[in-house]
């Protein structure tokens, strides 16, 4: 039986989980693959650090260079995190012609294009299933399972921390700050939590998915990002009464929806040159499956022009979920080595030369708007006048009962409008003397 020797860089939560999973199910994988996976060496930062998973001392070293360069190591597994040393590790391995498995979403978001080019140049491969959505095999789906489809819609709940917070806010009527504190205590959120709650983690993952789905590398600086800090208990309550659930979504959409779903009567579609790539809170209809993805779970909803709508659901983070995704990549890499096809399916194929990210100001959405206004006649007319001047239509106006006082909340549901028009109109509304706090705007997705 062919033996593949692994050099693992990183012995923390994920590295330890992968080592443990190989010890547990290595024999099972060997029986299925005809390839035996053996951990030859593990590079760590500190040999004396206590580890949740025991790794024999004879395998450990602090010198990652020696692991990557070891002739006995056939396959390098980068699980250290960060983007500086991790980039050096991956590039060093690829330049030696060694395939690399990584779970590092931040690394791929920042340097993916460079790393993919290096893999191609040196005739090897880069595998990254664990970089997005943990145990959900969404990378394999986009690279292989839906290879015959144009992807016209992709929506992802890809950050478990934010989903946990929003779920508890809805279920318990709790405030953001209180739930965030609990999430940090339980280990679901880091301290500080900025990467998660401000949407940057979701943006890393959404950019990778957008690049795969549309065939050009998405610059992370072009991704529009909003987090969930501004979501209040009041917004959660109003959304619920209106039949919606608030979720943080990564959104990847063609600019005009061409080829949106299978239909024998549709003409063949040309690929649009611009796509929306964004991360922001969304009002999701309660009837839609994504509204029912709760807690720390992730889900990715993908629409292909041939297959139609598909959904992928599971744990998006954690030691075991991530280790499972890494094992999947190890299996692919081992089979490629066994069969001598190091580049059977390249990590990324740029095939959309004119691809571009649509500026956020050009994105058209429906909107939920919450205003705090003086409780007196004429207020609605002034607000409606500003919106009408901007050619923005109001589908409904709701003044919830039980808010008697000097000021009251007003909820506006807005028809489709460009982001730029909404932004400018709400800036004008905020200047009205009758409006007593900054307007709150959350996008509404119909998934049509």
Distances from the Cα of 333 to the Cα of 3, 6, 340, 343, angstroms: 12, 11, 10, 9
Could you give all domains of the chain from N- to C-terminal order, each with its CATH number? 2-134+320-339 (3.40.50.720), 139-316 (3.30.360.10), 361-444 (3.30.70.260)
Neighbouring residues of 167: CB distance < 8 A, sequence distance ≥ 6: 294, 295
Q: Look up residue 144 and give its DSSP letter.
A: I
Q: How much is the pLDDT for 341? A: 85
**Would residue 199 be called left, alpha or beta, if left means φ above 0 and alpha means ψ between -120 and 50 degrees?**
left
Cα gap 194→409, rounded to integer Å: 29
- Joined together, the tokens standing for residue 448 give 């049509």
Instruction: Please tell me the predicted confidence (pLDDT) of residue 402.
Output: 67
Question: Can 205 be counted among the known catalytic residues?
Answer: yes
Which residue in the block uniquely carries the two structure tokens 């060093």? 92
Q: Which two tokens stand for residue 351?
A: 């095939």
pLDDT at 39: 98
Q: What is the pLDDT of residue 250?
A: 98
- What pLDDT, on a 0 to 100 scale, did the predictor assign at position 263? 43
Question: From the candidates 98, 105, 170, 205, which is the catalytic residue?
Answer: 205
What whole-number distance in Å separates Cα of residue 357 and Cα of residue 360? 9
pTM comes to: 0.93
- Taking the C-alpha atoms of residue 326 and residue 347, their distance in angstroms, rounded to an integer, is 15
Residue 403: the pLDDT is 66
Q: What is the pLDDT along the chain (448 residues), one digit of tens a residue?
A: 899 999 999 999 999 999 999 999 999 999 999 999 999 999 999 999 999 999 999 999 999 999 999 999 999 999 999 999 999 999 999 999 999 999 999 999 999 999 999 999 999 999 999 999 989 999 999 999 999 999 999 999 999 999 999 999 999 999 999 999 999 998 888 889 999 999 999 999 999 999 999 999 999 999 999 999 999 999 999 999 999 999 999 999 997 544 344 444 444 444 446 999 999 999 999 999 999 999 999 999 999 999 999 999 999 888 999 999 999 999 999 999 999 887 788 888 888 878 899 999 999 999 999 999 998 889 999 999 999 999 999 999 998 876 667 899 999 999 999 999 999 999 999 999 999 999 999 999 989 7
Q: What pLDDT sits at residue 265? A: 41
Report the pLDDT value the prediction gives residue 111, as an integer from 0 to 100: 96
Bridge-partner residues for 412, per DSSP? 369, 397
> Sheet holding 2-9: strands in order across?
60-61, 35-43, 2-9, 75-78, 100-102, 126-127
**Largest interatomic CA distance in the chain:** 82
């Amino acid at each position: 039986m062919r033996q593949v020797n692994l050099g693992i860089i990183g012995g923390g939560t994920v590295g330890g989980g992968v080592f443990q999973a190989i010890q547990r199910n290595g024999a099972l994988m060997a029986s299925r693959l005809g390839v035996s996976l053996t951990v030859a060496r593990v590079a760590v930062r500190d040999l004396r650090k206590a580890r949740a998973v025991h790794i024999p001392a004879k395998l450990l070293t602090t010198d990652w260079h020696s692991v990557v360069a070891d002739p006995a190591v056939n396959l390098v597994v980068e699980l250290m995190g960060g983007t500086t040393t991790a980039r050096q590790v991956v590039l060093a391995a690829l330049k030696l012609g060694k395939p690399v498995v990584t779970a590092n979403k931040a690394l791929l978001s920042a340097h993916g294009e460079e790393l993919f080019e290096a893999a191609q140049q040196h005739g090897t491969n880069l595998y990254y299933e664990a970089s997005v959505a943990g145990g959900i095999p969404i990378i394999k789906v986009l690279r292989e399972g839906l290879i015959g489809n144009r992807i016209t819609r992709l929506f992802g709940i890809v950050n478990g921390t934010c989903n946990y917070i929003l779920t508890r806010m809805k279920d318990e009527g709790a405030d953001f700050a209180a739930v965030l504190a609990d999430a940090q205590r339980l280990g679901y959120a880091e301290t500080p939590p900025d990467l998660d709650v401000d949407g940057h983690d979701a943006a890393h993952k959404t950019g990778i998915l957008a690049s795969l789905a549309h065939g050009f590398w998405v610059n992370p600086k072009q991704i529009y990002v909003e987090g969930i800090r501004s979501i209040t208990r009041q917004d959660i309550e109003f959304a619920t009464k209106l039949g919606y659930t608030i979720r943080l979504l990564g959104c990847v959409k063609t600019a005009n929806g061409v080829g949106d779903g299978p239909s024998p009567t549709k003409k063949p579609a040309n690929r649009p040159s611009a796509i929306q790539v964004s991360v922001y809170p969304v009002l999701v209809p309660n009837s839609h499956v994504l509204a029912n993805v709760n807690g720390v779970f992730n889900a990715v909803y993908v629409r292909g022009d041939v297959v139609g709508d598909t959904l992928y659901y599971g744990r998006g983070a954690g030691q075991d979920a991530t280790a499972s995704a890494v094992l999947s990549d190890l299996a692919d890499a081992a089979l490629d080595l066994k069969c001598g096809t190091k580049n059977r399916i390249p990590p990324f194929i740029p095939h959309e030369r004119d691809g571009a990210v649509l500026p956020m100001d050009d994105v058209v959405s429906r909107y939920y708007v919450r205003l705090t206004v003086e409780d007196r006649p004429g207020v609605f007319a002034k607000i409606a006048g500003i919106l009408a001047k901007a050619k923005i239509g109001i589908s409904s106006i709701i003044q919830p009962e039980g808010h008697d006082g000097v000021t009251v909340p007003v909820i506006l549901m807005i028809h489709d409008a460009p982001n730029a028009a909404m932004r400018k109109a709400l800036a004008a509304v905020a200047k009205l003397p009758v409006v007593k706090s900054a307007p709150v705007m959350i996008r509404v997705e119909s998934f049509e």
